[in-house]
A = this chain, B = another copy of it.
C-alpha cells in the first residue's frame, strides 16, 4: 500500500520517529549505565533480555519499510528541506540504503558471528591463545570486506570501513598522518628512552575515595560542566553516555586509592566528552543530530581538555593548591612543577589504553597498519601476532610477552569494529590544530592559569559543540580552521612539550 505524503505530515512523522528512537536509546543506554554502576551482580541476564527487545525495536524503527518510504519521500523533496532536515534525512537514509545492499541471510549470519566471536575473544584473551580466536577473526575481516564491496563496489573496501566511523576518511589522509607521526615521534621516543626517567612519585600515596570524589566535582565545576545536567558515578572503566538527549549526560570514573592521577584525568577526559555533548544546541535534542558528529571530533574534545589543557603546566599550577587542601599530608614537600612532570611522563608500554600522550598514537598506528595490510591481502590473519609483536618492537621498543598483552588486548575486532582505531589518533591531532586557531583570539593558557574555562568553552561551543552532528567532520574542520587538516600542529605540540620536559 503506497502512502501519500505531504511535506508537513512527513516532517511531523520524522520528528515522531526520532523522538521514539531517542526514547528507546535513552532506555537502552540507561540499562547499560545501570549495569555498569548500580545493578546487583547477578542481574546481567535479566538486563540482556530487555536490551534485546529494545534493540530489536530500535532496529525495526530505523529500517522498516515505513521508515524507508518516509525517508525516500523526504529525500525526493530535499530542495524544500532546511539544512538540518536534509542532514537528518541523509544520515538516517544512508543506513537503510546500505542495509538493503546486504543479503539478509548474510547479515544475520554476521550478527551471530559477532556475538560468538566476542565470547570466544574473552576466553582467548584470558588464555592468551590467539589460535582459539583466529577462525572468528578471519571471518570478521572477510565479512567486513565483503559487505564493504556490497555497499560501495567501486570504492576501496578499507576506505569504506574508515569512512563508516569517520565520514570521508581515507587511507590517503591517514598514510600521510601516520608517516609524519612515525618519522617524528619514534625518534623522539628513542631519545627520551636514552635519558634518565622523570620522577612521578607525587601521584602515589594514600588518597581516600571521598577526597578524590571531592576533587572530581571540583574539576567538573571548574571545567564549566553544568552539574544539574551532568552526573558522576563510578565504574570499572570510565565512560560518558548521553541519556535521551544531551540534556542528561553521565560521566564515570574509577578511584584508585594509591594513585589520584588516574581518576583526575579520567574526569577531565570524560568531562571533555560531556562538554561537547551537552553543548549541542537545545533544538537538536531528540533528533539524530544531537551530540557529537564523530568519534574523532569527540576525542579531539576529550583529549583537548585532558592533555592539552589538563596536562599543561598552567593547569597543574592552578590545581595544585586544591590538591594540597585535599591531600595535605601526601603533597607535603611537593610542587606544582612536580605534578606537571609526573603527569607527562612518557614511557613505551604494551597496552594502548594505559599509554601516555606521546606514545598513544603509535599504538593506534600499529593497528591501522595491520588492518590496512589485511584488507589489501599483504598480510594474513594467522600472521597477525608475529607482525603485531614486530611493530611494537620497532616503534615502541617493547617486547610483547604474550598475545594477551599483544594482539588480543582490544575488544574492537571481536565486535566487528574494523577501521575504528584511527579515529582515536586523529582526535589528538585535531585538538592541536584547534588550539592554534583558538589562540589567535583567546589567551588559552592565561585563562587556564586562573582556572577560567569560560572563554575556551565559549570558543568550542560556538565553533564545534553547538552544531551537534550537523556537519561531517571534514566540513566542521573546514569551517572551524579555514585550512586543511595539518598534522604538523600536533607534531610541533608534542615536540615542544616533550623536549621541554626531558631535555
* Interface positions of A (Cβ within 8 A of B): 19-20, 22-24, 26-28, 30-31, 34, 37-43, 45-47, 49-50, 52-54, 226-231, 233, 243-245, 247-250, 285-286
With contact pairs A30-B31, A31-B30 given, residues A23 and B40 touching in the complex (Cβ less than 8 Å): no
With contact pairs A40-B227, A40-B228, A248-B40 given, residues A50 and B23 touching in the complex (Cβ less than 8 Å): yes
Cβ 8 A contact of A50, one of B43, B46, B49, B244: B244
CB distance from A111 to the nearest CB of B (A): 19
Shortest Cβ-Cβ A-B pairs, 4 listed:
A23-B53, A27-B27, A42-B228, A23-B50
Residues of B within 8 A of A54 (CB): 23, 27
- Most B-side CB within 10 Å, residue of A19, A54, A248, A285: A248
Cβ 8 A contact of A46, one of B43, B47, B226, B243: B243
With contact pairs A23-B50, A31-B30, A53-B23 given, residues A38 and B233 touching in the complex (Cβ less than 8 Å): yes
CB distance from A88 to the nearest CB of B (A): 18
A249 to B38, CA, bound (A): 11
- B228 with A46: CB separation less than 8 A: no
With contact pairs A37-B38, A38-B37 given, residues A46 and B233 touching in the complex (Cβ less than 8 Å): no
CB distance from A14 to the nearest CB of B (A): 15
With both beta carbons as reference points, the residue of chain B lying nearest to A43 in the complex is identified as B248
With contact pairs A27-B50, A49-B19, A50-B27 given, residues A42 and B244 touching in the complex (Cβ less than 8 Å): no
Residues of B within 8 A of A244 (CB): 46-47, 49-50
Cβ 8 A contact of A23, one of B45, B49, B227: B49
- A46 with B245: CB separation less than 8 A: yes
With both beta carbons as reference points, the residue of chain B lying nearest to A285 in the complex is identified as B46
Residues of B within 8 A of A24 (CB): 53
CB distance from A56 to the nearest CB of B (A): 9
Residues of B within 8 A of A34 (CB): 30, 34
Residues of B within 8 A of A226 (CB): 42
Residues of B within 8 A of A42 (CB): 226, 228-229, 247
Residues of B within 8 A of A19 (CB): 49, 53
With contact pairs A30-B31, A31-B27, A50-B26 given, residues A231 and B45 touching in the complex (Cβ less than 8 Å): no
A43 to B227, CA, bound (A): 10
A49 to B41, CA, bound (A): 30
With contact pairs A27-B27, A30-B30 given, residues A20 and B53 touching in the complex (Cβ less than 8 Å): yes
A248 to B243, CA, bound (A): 21
